[in-house]
C-alpha cells in the first residue's frame, strides 16, 4: 500500500484548526498542553537519566538517533522522545512533529508494537509510516498556503527565508520546497480561508516605523521614508486604516462615517469628501492606511486632512469608523425628481417640470456644475442629478442645490446624535408644561 500523502496533508490542517493556531512559527508545546492527559514529551537525556543508560544505549533501544514515540495501550497514552544532544532546536521541532504524525495518523492501530521499530514492522509498512509522518510534519510546521503567501519561491533566499519564517532546519526547508507542488494539490480549497486568518510576522519591513506592508514600493506608505533600508524580521507592524473596495474607494466616508454610496460614487453625498486616498502631488491612488504616497513619498489626501493620524500617534490611528446612517432627505421619484416640493409642499408638476410652479425651487437636486473642456478649449458645464439627501455630488464632489437653498442641513447638523439633529424636529406643542 502506498503512502497516503493527501490524508497526511489534510490531517495536519485539522490538527492546526483543532488547537486554534493562528500564527507561525507553530508552537508545538500548545498541542502537548492541550492533550496533556494523553500526550507527553521527553528528551533522550531524561530517558537516559531515568533508566541509568547512556545516550548511545537510548539510540540503540529506539533504533533512531533522532526520536521515537512510545504508546501505552492500557492507558492509551503517548510519550514522544527526541534526541536533545544534537543541539539543533530546529531539527528537534521537525522530529517532534514527525512523531506527532504517527500519533495523529493513527499508525499504532496497524501494528502490535508499542514503539514503531524497524525490526518489528514489515519494511513496506514502515516506509509508508515514515513517508506519511514526514509529510504531516512539514505541513504542520510550514503549511503550503502560508509558504505560498509569505515566501518568494523564485528568490535565491528561499531556503533561509523559510528557515526564519517557520523556525525549521535547512533540511526541513529543502524538503518543504521539494514537496511544495505535490502538497499544494492536497489542500482543501476551503482551508485557504482558515490560513488567511493567520498573523503573518515575516517579510520585508520599514526600519523606521516597522510597517509590514511595503511590497515593491519606492516609499513607505506609513512614515514616508525611502524604501532602501528594508529587511525581514518577526516583529512587523500592520497599521489599521480605511477599508477599500475593488476600485480603491473607501467603504465608509473618512469624514462623516456615511456608508451609503451609489454605484461608481467618487465622493460622499453628505459631506463631499473624496473616497480615494489620492497623493496630493502625483495623484497616485493609495491604500486606506497610507499616510504617504508609495510612488513619490508625498502626503496623501487622507493624511493631509487628518483622517489618518501620524503613525507614532498612540491615541488613534484614524478617525472613528463606526457606520452612520443619515435619515433625512427629500423623497424623489424614479427619475430623481421631487414628489413634493420641499419648500412649499406643492405636489403638482407637469411631465417636463424642472422647477416648482409655486415657489420656483428646482425639482431636481442638481450639483452646482462641473466644468468640462473640449479639445478646442471651450468650457461646458455639466450638472449631475443627485439623491434627495445629497448635500454634495457623488460624481464631482460639488455642493447641491438643496444644500445651497437650505433644504438640507449640513452633515454636522444632520448627523444622528448631534445637538441639532436631536432638537430640530421637536415642536413646542409636544412639550408638556
What residues contact 360, with CB distance under 8 A and at least 6 apart? none
Q: What integer pLDDT is reported at residue 432 of this predicted model?
A: 46
Do residues 234 and 373 both lie within one domain? no
- What's the mean pLDDT when you consider all of the chain? 89
State the Cα–Cα distance between residues 365 and 344, nearest whole angstrom. 16
Choice between 355 and 118, residue whose per-residue pLDDT is larger: 355
CB atoms within 10 A of CB 411: 25
74-88: pLDDT as tens digits: 888 999 999 999 999
Do residues 46 and 185 both lie within one domain? yes
238-281: pLDDT as tens digits: 788 899 999 999 999 999 999 999 999 999 999 999 999 999 99
Q: Which three cell numbers, joined as nine digits, stand for 383? A: 450638472
Do residues 235 and 279 both lie within one domain? yes
With cut-offs at 50, 70 and 90, classify the pLDDT of residue 431.
Answer: very low
| Alpha-carbon distances of 45 from 59, 236, 421, rounded to whole Å | 11, 37, 74
Do residues 42 and 156 both lie within one domain? yes
**Residue 47 contacts residue 55 (beta carbons within 8 Å):** no
The structural domain count of the chain equals 3
In a domain, 300, yes or no: yes
Do residues 42 and 137 both lie within one domain? yes
Q: Which three cell numbers, joined as nine digits, stand for 14? A: 485539522
Q: What integer pLDDT is reported at residue 420 of this predicted model?
A: 62
373-426: pLDDT as tens digits: 776 767 789 999 999 999 999 999 999 999 999 999 999 999 887 666 554 444
Q: pTM above the 0.75 mark?
A: no
Do residues 83 and 227 both lie within one domain? no
23 secondary structure, DSSP code: B
- Domain interval for residue 296: 203-328
In a domain, 335, yes or no: yes
- Give the residue from 135, 111, 128 showing the smallest Cα distance to 11: 135
- Give the residue from 369, 367, 363, 357 showing the smallest Cα distance to 401: 367
Do residues 344 and 324 both lie within one domain? no
With cut-offs at 50, 70 and 90, classify the pLDDT of residue 428.
Answer: very low
Do residues 258 and 186 both lie within one domain? no
CA dihedral 138, 141, 145, 149 (to 10 degrees): -120
The torsion angles phi and psi of 112, rounded to 5 degrees, stand at -95, -15
State the Cα–Cα distance between residues 188 and 9, nearest whole angstrom. 9
State the Cα–Cα distance between residues 22 and 27, nearest whole angstrom. 10
Amino acid at each position: 500500500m502506498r503512502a497516503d500523502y493527501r490524508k497526511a496533508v489534510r490531517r495536519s490542517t485539522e490538527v492546526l484548526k483543532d488547537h486554534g493556531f493562528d500564527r507561525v512559527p507553530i508552537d508545538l508545546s500548545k498541542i502537548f498542553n492541550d492533550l496533556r492527559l494523553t500526550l507527553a514529551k521527553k528528551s533522550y537525556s531524561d530517558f537516559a537519566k531515568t533508566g541509568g543508560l547512556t545516550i548511545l544505549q537510548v539510540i540503540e533501544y529506539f533504533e533512531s538517533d533522532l526520536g521515537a514515540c512510545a504508546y501505552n495501550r492500557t492507558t492509551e497514552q503517548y510519550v514522544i522522545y527526541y534526541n536533545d544532544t544534537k543541539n539543533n532546536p530546529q531539527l528537534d521541532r521537525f522530529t517532534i512533529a514527525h512523531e506527532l504524525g504517527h500519533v495523529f495518523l493513527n499508525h499504532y492501530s496497524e501494528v502490535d508494537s508499542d514503539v514503531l521499530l524497524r525490526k518489528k514492522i514489515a519494511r513496506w509498512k514502515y516506509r509508508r509510516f515514515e513517508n506519511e509522518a514526514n509529510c504531516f510534519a512539514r505541513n504542520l510546521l510550514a503549511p503550503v498556503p502560508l509558504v505560498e503567501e509569505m515566501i518568494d519561491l523564485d528568490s535565491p533566499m528561499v531556503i533561509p527565508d523559510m528557515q526564519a519564517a517557520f523556525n525549521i532546519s535547512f533540511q526541513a526547508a529543502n524538503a518543504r520546497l521539494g514537496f511544495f507542488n505535490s502538497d499544494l494539490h492536497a489542500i482543501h480549497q476551503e482551508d485557504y480561508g482558515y490560513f488567511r486568518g493567520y498573523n503573518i510576522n515575516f517579510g520585508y519591513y520599514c526600519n523606521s516605523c516597522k510597517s509590514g506592508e511595503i511590497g515593491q514600493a519606492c516609499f513607505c506608505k506609513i512614515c514616508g521614508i525611502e524604501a532602501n533600508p528594508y529587511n525581514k524580521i518577526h516583529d512587523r507592524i500592520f497599521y489599521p486604516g480605511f477599508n477599500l473596495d475593488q476600485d480603491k474607494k473607501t467603504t465608509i466616508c473618512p469624514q462623516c462615517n456615511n456608508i451609503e454610496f451609489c454605484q461608481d460614487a467618487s465622493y460622499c453625498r453628505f459631506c463631499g469628501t473624496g473616497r480615494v486616498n489620492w497623493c496630493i502631488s502625483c495623484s497616485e491612488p493609495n491604500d486606506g492606511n497610507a499616510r504617504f504616497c508609495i510612488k513619490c513619498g508625498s502626503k496623501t489626501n487622507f493624511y493631509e486632512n487628518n483622517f489618518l493620524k501620524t503613525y507614532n500617534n498612540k491615541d488613534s490611528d484614524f478617525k472613528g469608523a463606526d457606520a452612520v446612517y443619515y435619515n433625512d432627505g427629500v423623497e424623489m421619484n424614479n427619475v430623481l425628481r421631487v414628489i413634493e416640493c420641499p419648500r412649499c409642499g406643492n405636489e403638482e408638476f407637469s411631465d417636463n417640470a424642472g422647477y416648482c410652479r409655486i415657489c420656483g425651487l428646482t425639482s431636481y437636486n442638481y450639483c452646482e456644475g462641473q466644468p468640462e473642456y473640449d479639445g478646442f478649449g471651450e468650457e461646458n458645464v455639466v450638472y449631475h442629478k443627485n439623491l434627495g439627501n445629497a448635500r454634495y455630488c457623488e460624481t464631482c464632489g460639488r455642493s447641491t442645490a438643496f444644500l445651497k437653498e437650505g433644504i438640507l442641513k449640513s452633515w454636522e447638523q444632520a448627523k444622528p446624535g448631534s445637538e441639532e439633529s436631536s432638537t430640530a424636529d421637536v415642536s413646542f406643542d409636544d412639550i408638556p408644561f
